[in-house]
């Protein structure tokens, strides 16, 4: 089950996807499109964010973000499957961004 933090992270990325893409890729002239609705059946989650992107140097590609409250050992395998499914569906190279949302309650 998704945690509220996971879903709010997706919301934060959706507020400024271009800034997010510049930060996670380090590509200063990247331009993003509208966040895609991913329906990959068994691995689609509310915390997954797929952003189409383009830069003069790299052309068109997808930024695949999966953010979760806590890291699990299944995350790398899930990201590989997620990237392969996105490449197959959209016929674009992918830039996977697995991430863990860190909270400080102190």
User: Element (H or E) spanning 13, and its range?
Assistant: helix 4-15
Q: Supply the pLDDT for residue 106.
A: 40
CB count in 10 Å sphere of residue 89: 14
Query: What does the pLDDT look like over 48-81, one tens digit per residue?
Result: 788 999 999 999 999 988 776 677 788 888 888 8
Cα–Cα separations (whole angstroms), residue 103 to 21, 29, 55, 99: 22, 31, 32, 13
Higher pLDDT, 12 or 93: 93
User: Which one of 3.40.50, 3.40.1350, 1.10.3470, 3.30.70 gives the CATH number of domain 4-100?
Assistant: 3.40.1350
Burial class (CB in 10 A: 0-12, 13-18, 19+), 26: exposed
């Amino acid at each position: 089950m998704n945690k509220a933090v996971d879903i709010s992270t997706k919301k934060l990325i959706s507020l400024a996807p271009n800034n997010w893409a510049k930060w996670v890729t380090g590509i200063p002239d990247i331009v993003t499109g509208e966040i895609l609705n991913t329906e990959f059946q068994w691995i689609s989650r509310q915390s997954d964010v797929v952003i189409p992107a383009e830069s003069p140097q790299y052309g068109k590609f997808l930024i695949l973000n999966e953010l979760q409250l806590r890291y699990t050992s299944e995350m790398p395998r899930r990201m590989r499957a997620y990237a392969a499914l996105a490449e197959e569906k959209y016929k674009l190279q992918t830039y996977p961004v697995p991430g863990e949302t860190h909270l400080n309650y102190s």
